[in-house]
Amino acid sequence: MWIGFALVAAIANAGTSFSLKRAVEHGGAVVSTFAARMVASLLLLGLVAATGAWHPLTPAYWRAVSLVLVPEVMGTICLTLALRRGDLSLVQPIMGLLPGLVMLGAIVFLDERPSPEAGFGVALVTLGVYCVGLQGGGSLLEPLRALGRSRANWFAVASAVSWSLATLVHKRGIAAVGPFPWAATLAFVAALGMAVVIPFLAWRTRAGLGMPEQVKPWSGFVAFAGLAFAVQQMGLHTALRLTQTGYVIALTSTSILWATALGILVLRERAAARTRAAGALLVSGGATLIALFG
């Protein structure tokens, strides 16, 4: 059952990425991301209130919130800085390291023990997502070599590490209040944290906030991104409640395949087809191993 929830999260995450990409054509990346998080938090809070799914807020819940706040917000901010300062073809593959980082962290901190076959599947997904993220025809090692000369790639590393740490905390939050209330908490906390740091970020990068010039198309894309993010969070945290963290993050990372398909079919993005095809095969093989042996 967890596989279905993880795949729903993957498809919804692709929808989030696609919608945000269209939104930033009309407004700044940070403001668009913040607005989408706010939409998602309001939808999730409304759902939890309407269904009466909220649990008593125990000390364990507040500890989880305090632990997840910094890495969740830092992950979003660092990725935004990475995409602002660096080439997408060098930044995006670094984010493909997330499944492997989460699996290693879960082994160390959560005492999870993946089966050898599923662990190999996670490694294949990690390598596949890395390959799909390559946009040009250069070396496969170019994103790693860029660490020596590009601050943007170090922001991408910081984002991947931050989000892997936040993912490890999710288990605590889900155990304290359940998957849907925790998803609502996470969306709201992330949006609130971004609201606090947006002015500092605008000053630090010497750029404006990127307010949209045309509200109508921008607001539509942001609303859809918020809805997709809410669905992604519900699927993700429900799956995390049912199985190991590394397995879930590996399967949800297949979202890059759905996002790539949307880019090819809708936006006519056909660059680096060979590396994307190779990455898709690796991700598909890894996902199959996780589904069979996880």
- State the pLDDT at residue 55: 81
CA distance 168 to 163: 9
Cα 118 from Cα 226, distance rounded (Å) = 32
Range of the domain at 146: 2-293
d(CA 2, CA 154): 33
Total of domains in the chain: 1
pLDDT in tens, 138-189: 566 666 666 666 677 788 788 889 989 999 999 999 999 999 999 999 888 8
pLDDT digit string (tens) for 237-274? 999 999 899 889 888 887 777 766 666 666 555 555 56
The pLDDT tens digits for 42-60 are: 999 999 988 888 888 889 9
Alpha-helical (H) ranges within the chain are: 2-23, 29-51, 59-85, 88-95, 98-109, 116-133, 142-145, 151-177, 179-204, 215-242, 245-252, 255-265, 273-293
